[in-house]
Amino acid sequence: MRRQSALLGTVLLSSLVLAISCAPSSGTPDPPPKTAAPADDPTRARIFATLPQSKLELAPAETVLKGKHRGKEMADGSECEGCHADVAAAFRGSAHAFASFNNPVYRAAVDRFRADVDHAKSKFCGGCHDISLLVDGGMDKAIEPSDTRAHAGIGCRTCHGIEEARIDGNGSYTLTAEPFPLPTKGDPRSIAAHKARAASPALRTTALCASCHRAFLNEGTGNAHHLIGQDDMTPWQQSVFAGSRVHALDEEVPEQDCRGCHMPRIRADRGDPAAKDGKIASHAFLGGHTWLAAIRKDPDVLAKTRAFLEGSVSIDIAAVIGADGHRTLPADGAPMAAGERVVLAVALRNERVGHRFPGGTMDAADAWVEVEVRDANGALVAEAGLEHEATGDDPTAHRLRALQVGDDGKPRLERQTEQFRAPVFNHTIPPRGAQVVEYGLETPVGVAFPLRVIARLRHRTRSLPVFHAACEASKSERGKAFRAAGFDLDGCTPEPVTKVAETEVWIGPGSAGRKPEKPGKPTWRRLYDHGLGMIGALQERRDEAGPSLVAALAEAEATGEARPKAVVMAALALLASRQGRVDEAMGWLDKLAPLAPDHPAIPYLRGEALSQVWRFEKAAPPLAEAAERAPGDDAAWVMLAVARGSAADARGALWAARRGLVVQPRDHDLLRVQALSLAALSAPEAEVSAAWEAWQKVRPADVIPRVKAKCSRDVPGCALERSPVHVHPLRMRR
């Protein structure tokens, strides 16, 4: 959403230079860092460049070491376990405990990287996976299976030894070697000293999580140019979960940070002294790691992880489009005839995941949609995606993943990160976002109506190419040696598959009296989700969101509640804005304002609508209001910086860009606006040069469009998948 406007604005900024030279957490998410923020008054902002960190000692890791660390001590958590039994019990089954070479999936990827690239560049991995090796210089050398540091994971002394965390990523934290004073029972002073050392304020910040759950690739990691890596932080920053309510007017959604979802309070049954009111923050760090639980043969953690995933994303069969273009909204009871070709529209909605679903390494993720069409007797008529579990490459399966390709435009599917050249598409779903995928059905002659259509979303931790790579590595002599030296973890353990969501409808003659087995979402939400997903379609199809949203508004009005009406009106305003119909967008925003007074989405959507038609001077004030109400949302600062720069307000643009760079230090739009603004303000040449150099390092590479085109031309299905909303054919089974 933001990139479309930002790229438009950066073109105009060239003219500027010529013209003027899970469960809510116990508290709200921590605010963005304030130390680097510019003055609140743009007119008083100092003229200098805000630059990302560079030339660190452990590069490409962004980790800073303070004091003399010893890797074997870092790896040893036995002193902690002696007292903190409940924390230790939860941690033992976590992905953090198996983040190092002791994990056969990670080991397969990092061993290949170290063999194909070099040891020194693997410090990029070490800053977040192998801290016990990194602090001793172990990542620069051969790593033996018997080395206890290689089995350490992300232990107690790592997170609790961090005194400062930065949101840049690639392990951007400062790790101190200051000893942990052991407490003495009954001695308040020693207990206080222990807490002061072990409970750093950094532990209560999202920056701590961002330091490793945000990553970037560049020449230092063996890549030809800068690319964004895994990044769960940015989607969260831009979401309602982080307190940013500017991009959409949503239902009431509680704010929650990383800890709120992944470290909920759990009972402490072992007498852990860290417990408060009998509970501790869970150190199980539940997420999507069902495979790891299976590898560890831990049915309890597997069950909890599956429960964590189930229902996090919803699925709905939202519409049926007949051969004549007639739409049935929602799909239930859609008319159709034998021999007719119809299109089934499936809508997915990220309900409660605070980052994209699936998150993490999205190129290796494996979530997919299955669709079944059965006749009145239950016989399978057609399907899509049912072969994907076994093959991992079903062309009819819609997969929620991101695709990275190499120079040749061919997919890189086994985490060959140094070969990544271009992200071709990303079908993961942002927080509270919606996605639509369509399926073409050639209705057989003689089929027994009505038809029952079932759609489900399924998930496994990693794609089958990653699974096979891990399995082969696990069977090698090195893999066997690691299993013998540490935990016996078999990378050939079959991956569990979790059903995240399922829905059904009946269509065709005789369907009127048939009802789904389970009740679904309210009708207005079903229609709204479909319309919201269609707003993300290419411009040629975006108008198809209109009928769904208009119908959703009628259903919302029937509820008698103000909020559903306001939610749909905001989406109608967004649709009009994206189509350049600014007056219509403003009209919808005027109508919804009394329903949701003072909602920050209203000024933001006004500013976006005006920016779409290049009325940047008028767009800047409402965008400024919105950005101030979402200070941790980099996308809001991008929109404001571009609007001000395009309106020839170089000083205001510089100020907004610097505010955004506080929370997104390597954003290419913000760095470009900063450089243009500094040049326009006749800043010292050194500052201007440094700003341009910073932008050059992260700007999208010129080769990316050509590489994407190769994928479309040479890789089956690539061109289809590059369209945000596309049609998969249903395979006939009779």
Q: Can you tell me the mean pLDDT for 142-167?
A: 97
Pick from 698, 701, 699, 695: which is nearest to 676 by CA?
Answer: 695
pLDDT above 90: residue 229: yes
CA distance 336 to 324: 11
Give the pLDDT of residue 127.
98
Residue 89's Cα: distance from chain center in Å?
29
Mean pLDDT of 268-284: 96
Q: Tell me, what's the pLDDT at 515?
A: 84
**Domain map of the chain by residue range?**
2-51+526-708, 64-285, 312-520+725-732
- Residue position matching structure tokens 């602090």: 135
| Predicted pLDDT of residue 516 | 83
Structure-token pair, residue 354: 């605070």
Pick the closest to residue 250 from 655, 734, 596 (CA basis): 596
Report yes or no: 245 and 601 within 8 Å, Cβ to Cβ. Answer: yes
- What are the φ and ψ backbone dihedral angles of 236, each rounded to 5 degrees? -65, -45
Q: What integer pLDDT is reported at residue 23 of this predicted model?
A: 37
pLDDT at residue 34, as a whole number: 38
Q: Check: CB of residue 450 under 8 Å from CB of residue 508.
A: yes
Cis peptide before 330 (omega within 30 of 0): yes
The conformational region for residue 174 under phi > 0 = left, psi -120 to 50 = alpha, else beta, is beta
Q: E strands along 224-335, which residues?
A: 227-231, 265-267, 279-281, 313-321, 327-328
Q: pLDDT grade, residue 625 (50/70/90)?
A: very high
Residue 27 confidence (pLDDT):
43
3-state secondary structure of 548: helix
Q: How far apart are CA 172 and CA 449, in angstroms?
A: 60
Q: How far apart are CA 195 and CA 203, in angstroms?
A: 12
Sign of CA dihedral 488, 491, 495, 500: positive
Q: Is the pLDDT of residue 126 over 60?
A: yes
Give pLDDT, residue 10.
34
Q: What percent of the chain has pLDDT over 90?
A: 91
Domains 2-51+526-708 and 312-520+725-732 equal at CATH topology level: no
Place of tokens 């610097």: 658
471, two tokens:
């399995």
Output the six-digit token pair for 652. Answer: 């205001």
Res. 5: pLDDT tops 80:
no
- C-alpha torsion sign, points 231, 237, 238, 241: positive
pLDDT of residue 533: 99
For 448, 706, 725, the CA distances from 720, given in Å and listed in that order, are 32, 17, 9
Q: What does residue 621 show for φ and ψ, rounded to 5 degrees?
A: -60, -50
Average pLDDT score, the chain: 94
Q: How confident is the model at residue 54 (pLDDT cuts 50, 70, 90)?
A: confident
Give me the pLDDT at residue 32, please.
42
> pLDDT tens for residues 430-469?
999 999 999 999 999 999 999 999 999 999 999 999 999 9
Confidence of residue 42 (pLDDT cuts 50, 70, 90): low
pLDDT at 281 over 90: yes
User: If we measure between CA atoms, which residue out of 312, 443, 310 comes closest to residue 382?
Assistant: 443
Q: Looking at domain 312-520+725-732, what is its CATH homologous superfamily? A: Immunoglobulins (2.60.40.10)
Going 80 to 83 to 89 to 94, the CA torsion angle's sign is negative
Q: In the predicted model, is pLDDT for residue 40 greater than 80?
A: no
**Secondary structure class of 190 (helix, strand, coil):** helix
In this prediction, residue 696 carries a pLDDT of 98
719: Cα separation from own chain's centroid? 23
- What's the pLDDT score for residue 18? 27
Mean pLDDT of all residues in 51-57: 91
Closest CA to 636 of 647, 652, 620: 620
Is the pLDDT assigned to residue 666 strictly greater than 60? Answer: yes
Quote the pLDDT of residue 513: 81
pLDDT value at position 47? Answer: 83
DSSP annotation of 201 reads: G
d(CA 142, CA 222): 19
pLDDT at res. 83: 94
Q: Inform me whether the pLDDT recorded for 20 exceeds 50.
A: no
Beta strand 341-350 with 434-442: parallel, antiparallel or unpaired? Answer: antiparallel
345 with 320: CB under 8 angstroms? yes
Asked if pLDDT for residue 122 goes beyond 50, the answer is yes
CA distances for 23 relative to 201, 274, 633, angstroms: 22, 21, 22
H or E, element range at 637: helix 634-646
Four-way CATH pick for 2-51+526-708: 1.25.60.10, 1.25.40.10, 3.30.590.10, 3.40.960.10: 1.25.40.10
Half-sphere exposure in the Cβ direction for 2 (13 Å, CA): 25
The tens digit of pLDDT for each residue in 386-408 reads: 999 999 999 999 999 999 999 99
